[in-house]
Structure 1
Amino acid sequence: MIVFEHLRCPLHRYTFSVRPIRLWVEQHCEGRVLNLFAGPTMLDVIEIRNDLDPAMPADYHLDALALLRNWTGDSFNTILLDPPYAMRKSMELYKGHICSPFRQLKDEIPRCLSPGGIVITFGYHSIVMGAGRKFSLERVALFSHGGAIHDTIASIERYHPDP
Structure 2
Amino acid sequence: MEHYRCPLHRYTFSVTPIRRWVESQCEGRVLNLFAGPTLLQVDEVRNDLDPAMPAEYHLDALDLLETWQGEPFGTILLDPPYALRKSMELYKGNICSPFRRIKDAIPRCLKPGGLVITFGYHSVVMGCSRSFKLEKVALFSHGGAIHDTIASVERFIK
TM-score over 0.5 for the pair? yes
Equivalence for 2:48: 51
**Would you say 1:29 and 2:26 are equivalent positions?**
yes
**Would you say 1:113 and 2:110 are equivalent positions?**
yes
The whole-number CA distance in structure 2 between the counterparts of 1:99 and 1:126 is: 20
**Would you say 1:79 and 2:76 are equivalent positions?**
yes
**Would you say 1:97 and 2:110 are equivalent positions?**
no
- 2:139 match: secondary structure: strand
Q: Could you tell me the TM-score, scaled by structure 2's length? A: 1.00
User: Is there any run of 5+ residues in structure 2 with no aligned partner, and where?
Assistant: none
**Would you say 1:148 and 2:145 are equivalent positions?**
yes
Equivalence for 2:133: 136
- Shift of residue 100, structure 1, vs aligned partner: 1.3
**Would you say 1:39 and 2:56 are equivalent positions?**
no
Q: Match for 1:94: what amino acid?
A: Y
Identity across matched positions, percent: 78
The whole-number CA distance in structure 2 between the counterparts of 1:90 and 1:142 is: 22
User: Is there any run of 5+ residues in structure 1 with no aligned partner, and where?
Assistant: none
The whole-number CA distance in structure 2 between the counterparts of 1:133 and 1:151 is: 26
The whole-number CA distance in structure 1 between the counterparts of 2:26 and 2:89 is: 29
**Would you say 1:62 and 2:56 are equivalent positions?**
no
- 1:99 match: secondary structure: coil
- Shift of residue 99, structure 1, vs aligned partner: 1.3
The whole-number CA distance in structure 2 between the counterparts of 1:24 and 1:37 is: 17
- 2:69 match: secondary structure: coil
Alpha carbon RMSD of aligned pairs, Å?
Answer: 0.3
Q: Deviations over 1:109-162 (max 9, x none)?
A: 00000000000000000000000000000000000000000000000000011x
